[in-house]
Amino acid sequence: MPIILVLLDITPMMGVLDGVLMELQDCALPLLKDVIATDKEDVAFKDLDVAILVGSMPRRDGMERKDLLKANVKIFKCQGAALEKYAKKSVKVIVVGNPANTNCLTASKSAPSIPKENFSCLTRLDHNRAKAQIALKLGVTSDDVKNVIIWGNHSSTQYPDVNHAKVKLQGKEVGVYEALKDDSWLKGEFITTVQQRGAAVIKARKLSSAMSAAKAICDHVRDIWFGTPEGEFVSMGVVSDGNSYGVPDDLLYSFPVTVKDKTWKVVEGLPINDFSREKMDLTAKELAEEKETAFEFLSSA
């Protein structure tokens, strides 16, 4: 399926965007039909099938989370309004810019005629990180690990959960807990490694994740467009209806989902132990607080 990429940036960055455009041309990608670089919203958002919202205000030294939310509400209110005005009503919107969950909710509220189910935020990078850590520990490839879950916020309160994950060992599928036989690592270092991986990448390369984030975006969009493989689920930040796993209504929360016919569905009925419950509630609480702060700014913006 051929793709036309539309790249939007602010006017002072158009020179840099031209460099990105040249690189994309030089990749000679077989599915890339055209690239349009623009600083105009009416050009960028017109009749889109998929919108990937990457740009957000990054957190600076000494910046309170509240200040970060205020700056981002402004950005994502504008982007939501542009989607409302120019994009197809069937557009699939993926929010990557942090704080991704709350930015996604802000964009959705600012585009009332686009179904809220069409909005999702990226927790696939965390999902891939969790898969990779298990694979490394067991000496298998990431492809041999499936059904890890990222619950909640794309922040350090997220809960990487492998209680329901399976790994292929010697040709047969076994539970990750059973395969590893190392509960203290799974309940301790594994979780903190995934939660803090983004910060570790920044510390090492002085820039935030780039290639791994791009790969995760591709994974997320591909699954929305073509569906998830039979018997597998993935993690996405989607809007809660209040009926799944005790997560309050109208929070943008990362759940395990399956996708079919471009429609996601939360995987229901997974047993949740007390350890998981506590971690899932903690990240929901953070999201509820973020939402409250963001919506104060949204109503006054």
3-state secondary structure 194-213: HHCHHHHHHHHHCCCCCHHH
> Which of the four pLDDT bands, split at 50, 70 and 90, describes residue 62?
confident
Q: Is the pLDDT of residue 169 over 90?
A: yes
% pLDDT > 70, the chain: 100
CA–CA gap between residue 98 and residue 101 (Å, rounded): 8
CB 151 within 8 A of CB 159: yes
Q: Which residues are annotated as a binding site for NAD(+)?
A: 9, 72, 96-98
154 is catalytic: yes
* pLDDT for the residue numbered 68: 85
- Structure-token match 């809660």, residue found: 240
- For residue 136, the surrounding DSSP H or E stretch is helix 124-138
How are beta strands 263-266 and 145-146 bridged, if at all?
unpaired
Specify the DSSP class assigned to residue 34.
E
Q: Is the pLDDT of residue 19 over 80?
A: yes
Q: pLDDT per residue over 176-206, tens digit each?
A: 999 999 999 999 999 999 999 999 999 999 9
Q: Which residues are annotated as a binding site for substrate?
A: 59, 65, 98, 129
The residue annotated as part of the active site, out of 127, 154, 164, 220, is 154
Q: Which amino acid is at 226?
A: F
The whole-chain average pLDDT of the chain stands at: 95
The pLDDT of 236-257, averaged and rounded, is 98
> Which of the four pLDDT bands, split at 50, 70 and 90, describes residue 301?
low
For residue 272, is it left (φ>0), alpha (ψ between -120 and 50) or beta? beta
> Which of the four pLDDT bands, split at 50, 70 and 90, describes residue 58?
confident
CB 145 within 8 A of CB 176: yes
- Output the pTM of the full model: 0.95
Q: Which amino acid is at 172?
A: K
Q: Is 263 helix (H, G, I), strand (E, B) or coil?
A: strand
